[in-house]
Amino acid sequence: MALLEFRNVSKRFGSLLAVDNVSFAVDSGEFFTLLGPSGCGKTTLLRMLAGFDAPDAGDILLDDKSLAGVPPEKRPLHTVFQNYALFPHLTVEGNISFPLEMAGRPKDEIRRRVAGMLALVHLEEKEDAFPHELSGGQKQRVALARGLVNKPRVLLLDEPLGALDAKLREEMQIELIALQRNVGVTFIFVTHAQQEALALSHRIAVMRAGRIEQLDEPDRLYGFPQNRFVADFIGKINLLDVDVLESTPDRLSLAAKGLGTLTAPPVQGVQPGAHGCLALRPEQMRVVAENEDTGLPNHFPGVVRDLLYEGDVTLYRVVLRNGTALEAMIANSAPGRPRFFEVDDRVEIGWRPEAGRYLHD
Amino acid sequence: MKRGVGLWIAALSVYAFLYVPLAVVVLFSFNDSELNAEWVGFTTRWYAKLLSDQTMLQAAANSLFIAIVSSTVATVLGAMAGLAMHRYKVRWLAFLALTPVAMPEILLGVSLLLFFRQVLDLTLGLVSILVAHITFSIGFVAIIVRARLAGLDESLFEAARDLGATPWMTFRRVLFPLMMPGLLAGYLMSFTLSIDDFVITFFTAGVGVTTLPLQIYSMIKVAVTPEVNAVSTLLMALTLTMIGLASRLAPETLRGKG
Ligand SMILES: Nc1ncnc2c1ncn2[C@@H]1O[C@H](COP(=O)(O)OP(=O)(O)O)[C@@H](O)[C@H]1O
Ligand SMILES: [Mg+2]
């Protein structure tokens, strides 16, 4: 039985359909992420779950019971807001005890649990500090502790790492994973950063314009995007426009305009004559000098247009005959050795047929 | 450099213009002479004389009573007005609450007088003064409270609800404590306005009740005695303390940032 379920939920703001017939279920103990560009309806979903907004249609269920009409304070869910929303007139200790006091817990229990929470988020020394005396990362930890201290069934996190700088964000990601594992609370996490979603989540719902485009595990989402939007949104990807020549149970034969034919893994239900694109991850591409053999059935000549040195890898942008640019990510050789290719080098770029994925338009 | 000097002179003359008359009053309240003419020597006897002047003490007691009661009531009502103005962004609501602030005092005084006498047929006295003072203070409290609320993060109240607080507990544990500096500032502001109000009190006091400013006025009709200087100095000190406290408590309101 799912812990939490959205059933055909819609929400309208004037003429804007902010959430469009969304359904999904979250299991107990899951780290579930809503991922999508800004304005796609993630916060609106969280607000309906927390009880600040009511759905126009559909239902939200917790333990198979509808939450309709239940006020926010009666829902066993707590939220970590993007700006933390720490109470400025209360100390760290006062902020973390707040939910326990509201729940009417006895004083000694409150003291014990707050102390435990402070230890868990490494803030024992800051107990008596006020929020304005804390750094961004510390505020973040207080907000997490406050959200978790009364053991909610689900913790909602709305872009909680958005306000932190890159290095701190990475540290907090690691802490979040450990924290969630330790407390065993179900997390519903909202972000527009795909790398963050991939790093943290058990499952991810990719959203666009109020709808869920794909709901999958991170590696499935990365490896098998179901459409152009998801492929483009998750990680770096090359999209090559193609027409379907032949579709058999064990392979697709495709034609790329101005290039020639190539093969790809089969996709069910695709008819010859269909139009779509072939999605190729840059790290799956191979590049060799123009007179060498790639040893791969799918390969085309091209010219290195740009390159981006990133330390461990270099990103080469190769322009093909028909003007399409493909990116190839190649691990660099040992330090001090020359780069494999330079700008304007003529090369041959190829990939294994299994590396490509046909996406129907 | 030259322009700097000019600016300093200009600034100093403005401050002199503002504060020299006040300084003279303070100075002569300690002057050991019946006349406000020349400095004779230091004394505190005018203050001692004040303390044995029954009319003066009665006026002071009236003023304090009126200031305390009117600013308490005005703070409660003004806070409600400020909350309403913040919550429901209705233009005319703000307009109605703020008009008495900008209204010339003489107009307010005359209209209140007419209202009490013609409409309510009330005998002028303590009650009419109280109502009048509450009327002109509400607007100030409302402005201060609204400025305070505008600076607060709305998500704090949602956070409170989210963490298990009922609407009432959200008010008691989050909204009210956060409004507190604004309420205190509003109270002190009302107190200051009330204790040294002359014009409106003059119109609404009737014959029986006298406040400190009215008493000072009736004394200087005869002559500016050192006793008047002394009571004015005390009033000034009280007012400055109140303003100082208020600006500490709600800097965003009184320093024009809010
Ligand atoms: N209270 C509101 N009134 C009107 N439009 C809103 C309101 N809240 C959100 N929206 C709109 O709904 C859409 C989804 O918003 P939101 O859920 O905040 O997106 P996200 O969190 O994914 O960035 C946006 O276009 C936003 O402008
Ligand atoms: Mg959002």
Give pLDDT, residue A333: 76
The band of B256, judged by pLDDT with boundaries at 50, 70 and 90, is very low
Give the number of the atom of ligand 1 that is nearest the alpha carbon of residue A44. Answer: 17
Give the number of the atom of ligand 1 that is nearest the alpha carbon of residue A41. Answer: 17
In this structure, chain A runs to a length of: 361
For range B132-143, the mean pLDDT = 90
Phi then psi for residue A319, to 5 deg, are: -95, 125
Ligand nearest to the CA of A47: 1
The band of A105, judged by pLDDT with boundaries at 50, 70 and 90, is very high
For the segment A240-286, what is each residue's pLDDT rounded down to a tens digit?
A: 999 999 988 888 999 988 888 899 999 888 889 899 999 999 999 99
For the segment A168-212, what is each residue's pLDDT rounded down to a tens digit?
A: 888 889 989 988 988 889 999 999 999 999 999 999 999 999 999
The band of A338, judged by pLDDT with boundaries at 50, 70 and 90, is low
Give pLDDT, residue A95: 96
The Å distance, Cα A122 to ligand 1 centre, comes to 35
Instruction: Check CB contact of A316 with chain B, cutoff 8 Å.
Output: no
Provide the ipTM.
Answer: 0.83
The band of B232, judged by pLDDT with boundaries at 50, 70 and 90, is confident
Contact A85 B173 (CB under 8 A): no
Residue A121 has pLDDT above 80, yes or no: yes
Give pLDDT, residue B2: 63
Contact A103 B164 (CB under 8 A): yes
Most confident of A105-114, A341-350, B119-128, B224-233: A105-114
Which residues line the pocket of ligand 1, CB cutoff 6 A?
A 13, 16, 18, 36, 38-44
